[in-house]
A and B are shown apart, each in its own frame.
Chain A
Amino acid sequence: MIAFLRLAVFGILGLSAVYLALWIYARSVRREKLEKDWAVDHPDGGDPDAREAYIETGVETYGRSLRRRLILFVFLLPAAVVAAVLYLTNYQ
Chain B
Amino acid sequence: MRYVKWTVLAILAAIVTGFLHYTLPQHDVVRIVGTYQERQDLSDWTRIFWATPDDQATGLINRDVQFIQAVKASGREIVYRNEDTGWSWPPYFKFDTANLLARAQDLISTSDNPKWAVVTHYGWRNIYFSSFPNAIAIKPVAGPDVRVIPWFNIVFFVLLAALLFMVRRMWLQFRERALDPALEDMGEAWEGVEERAGQAADEARGVWGRSRAWLMSLKGKPRA
Q: A25-B173, A32-B177, A89-B96 are in contact. Are A82 and B52 (CB under 8 A)?
A: no
> A1–B86 Cα gap in the complex (Å)?
10
Q: Kindly identify, within residues 167 to 196 of chain B, every residue whose CB is under 8 Å from any CB belonging to chain A.
A: 169-170, 173-174, 177-178
Contact mask for chain A residues 18-36; partner B; CB cutoff 8 A; 1 contact, 0 none: 0001101100110110000
Q: A25-B173, A28-B174, A92-B137 are in contact. Are A4 and B95 (CB under 8 A)?
A: no
Q: Quote the shortest CB–CB distance from B89 to chain A (angstroms).
A: 9
Q: Does A2 contact B (CB under 8 A)?
A: yes
Instruction: Check if B92 sits within 8 Å of A85, measured CB to CB.
Output: yes
Chain B residues near A65 (CB-CB < 8 A): none
> A31–B86 Cα gap in the complex (Å)?
44
Instruction: Check if B87 sits within 8 Å of A7, measured CB to CB.
Output: yes
- Nearest CB to that of A2 among chain B residues? B54
Instruction: Check if A21 sits within 8 Å of B91, measured CB to CB.
Output: no
- Nearest CB to that of B96 among chain A residues? A90
- Nearest CB to that of A91 among chain B residues? B96
Chain B residues near A21 (CB-CB < 8 A): 170
Interface size on B, residues (CB 8 A): 21
> A66–B177 Cα gap in the complex (Å)?
19
Instruction: Check if A85 sits within 8 Å of B54, measured CB to CB.
Output: no
Instruction: Check if B177 sits within 8 Å of A28, measured CB to CB.
Output: yes
18 examples of A-B residue contacts, CB within 8 angstroms: A3-B54, A3-B87, A7-B87, A21-B170, A24-B174, A25-B169, A25-B173, A28-B173, A28-B174, A29-B173, A82-B91, A85-B92, A85-B93, A88-B137, A89-B96, A89-B136, A91-B96, A92-B137
Interface residues of B (CB under 8 A from A): 52, 54, 86-88, 91-96, 99, 136-137, 139, 169-170, 173-174, 177-178
